[in-house]
Amino acid sequence: MRASDIPEDFDRVLYTDEQVASRVREVAAQIDADYAGREILMVGVLNGAVMTMADLCRAMKSHMSMDWMAVSSYGAGTKSSGVVRILKDLTKDIEGRDILIVEDIIDTGLTLSYLVQNLRSRNPNSIEIMAMFRKPEAVTCPLDVKYVGFDIPNEFVVGYGLDYADKYRNLTDVATLAPHVYNS
Ligand code: XMP
Ligand code: MG
């Protein structure tokens, strides 16, 4: 689904699918260079990171394997609750592995700070973060994020895996919502 298919639902498009794809290729090349000769365990954060993971890992030349976690920090709304719960844990041991967490978006940074702390206690060799989007003005938990797709304004965005009340994940562009969507 493109923003132009239902223009009335969106306020404005921040990035088109072409812009996202091109940035993903750049980040993939950077990761390949940094991890030359090492095998990466990419840990995707469900559900938002599905699109980023799918495109990023296919753009990479490095050997990689994939695992997934699901955490909850948001309900159906648009504000972070500050409470992080693990809804689905990794399937394998990560001791000694080089972990790259793949996340859709960093807002306050609370979710990822918790996740990094949690994974660090399992003794991996290294942990780095790739976030497709980051809202620098919203960050309250400073995080060392090695790879960022785009820094965006402090607004709620949907598309490319990001949802509002579980909708719009299949939007290929990244857009802000029209006010009537929140109010309906
Ligand atoms: P924190 O505040 O913990 O939040 O960094 C990260 C999680 O919150 C969700 N989130 C968003 N989801 N559009 C979304 O669809 C947004 O603009 C947005 N901001 C934060 C997201 O699940 C992320 O993992
Ligand atoms: Mg998420």
Which of 12, 50, 104 to mutate to test ligand 1, by most ligand atoms within 8 A of the CB atom? 104
pTM comes to 0.94
Known active-site residue 107: yes
ipTM of the complex: 0.93
In this structure, the residue with its CA closest to atom 14 of ligand 1 is 162
Q: Mean pLDDT, 10 residues at a time, over the chain (184 residues)?
A: 95 97 98 96 97 98 97 64 84 97 95 94 98 93 94 96 96 95 84
C-alpha to C-alpha distance for 151 and 179, rounded to whole angstroms: 23
What is the side-by-side strand order in the sheet with 147-151?
85-88, 64-72, 40-46, 98-106, 126-134, 147-151
Q: What fold characterizes domain 17-75+82-152?
A: Rossmann fold (3.40.50)
Atom of ligand 1 nearest to the CA of 109: 5
C-alpha to C-alpha distance for 128 and 82, rounded to whole angstroms: 22
Q: Which of 55, 98, 104, 107 is catalytic?
A: 107
Task: Give residue limits of the domains in the chain.
Answer: 17-75+82-152
DSSP 141: S
C-alpha to C-alpha distance for 184 and 164, rounded to whole angstroms: 12
3-state secondary structure of 84: coil
Phi, psi at 26, each rounded to 5°: -65, -45
In this structure, the residue with its CA closest to atom 20 of ligand 1 is 107
